[in-house]
Structure 1
Amino acid sequence: MSTHIAEIAWALRPGEDFPNGRYSRGHSLGFDGGATLAGSASPHVVGKWAVPEAVDPEEMLVAALSSCHMLTFLHRARLAGFSVCAYRDRAEGVMAEVDPGRHAVTRVTLRPEIAWSGGEPDAETLARLHHEAHAECFIANSVKTEVVVASERATGPVTAVGSQP
């Protein structure tokens, strides 16, 4: 198997008051390929102590699910003989209370918009490709959050492709 590294760094800044919770939640996220991002708690969680322009863990979870689904979908579409020339998703995660005082991202909806080069799959084949991508996505297989794909050509408002146990 493989190992994946993320380095997270935070430090108290001058004038902040850690014992009373008055400190920035801003931090850095470094990845083994060299990319670095600004991270923070969500403004929805810690208000003014968040760094609004930074990426929060909930957004990273949603992005990881969307990215993994897209990469797996592109692979499945290629194997099925289709050519994708563009893929865009505006994924949305919903946080909800799961027990008193406990919250979780309970649902992530992916809304892929796909541009095809040449022939494109019919609605049934497209649904099958999304289902296969969901079933093979490493990140979807790692979480218990419900993941739904609302395909651009779905026959109903949302095409559910299953949730993890």
Structure 2
Amino acid sequence: MTQTQPPVTRAFRTETRSFDFTPPGQADLTRLLELDGLEQLLAMRAGEMPPPPIMDTLGFTDLRPEPGRVVVEMPAAEFHYNPLGTVHGGVISTLLDTAAACAVHTTLAAGELYTSVDLTVKFLRPVTVDSGLLTCEGTVIQRGRRTALAQAQLTDGGGRLVAHATSTCLIMRADG
């Protein structure tokens, strides 16, 4: 005979977070593919095209693209935490991937697409809300016809390097 355990009641502090976003697919994809990669990101920054939903999901506050380089900012927040009370490695990896990949994005010609092939991350120090504004700079190391190699460096509000990544991206034509 099995006895059922009564539910455990816990008194944890809870908070609510909500945000609005534009789902993918509502943007004019034809227009998007008529622009080169830098123009696409600049249009998103200017509010002419919707940003990707991940920026709102994680609370990115800035994306500054220029040729071969992107800076992404996000304040460290408690909703980014893992069970041990630090920013989850997946959140840090997402920042690094975004900066490295968007740096490659700035090099795309009109009608080109890309996808990340790999991401190698090195975590150098813990990140908490006390880390402040996280700034991630992505730069293109090498851009070829079919692949690009990029890197990203994540620093905390005090300018300390907290993580580093390299990424390879595959570049392809949208029409095939």
TM range (shorter): 0.3 to 0.5
TM-score normalised by the chain length of structure 1: 0.34
Q: Which has the higher contact order (CA 8 A, sep 6+)?
A: 2
TM-score normalised by the chain length of structure 2: 0.32
From the two aligned structures, give the one with the greater helix fraction. 1
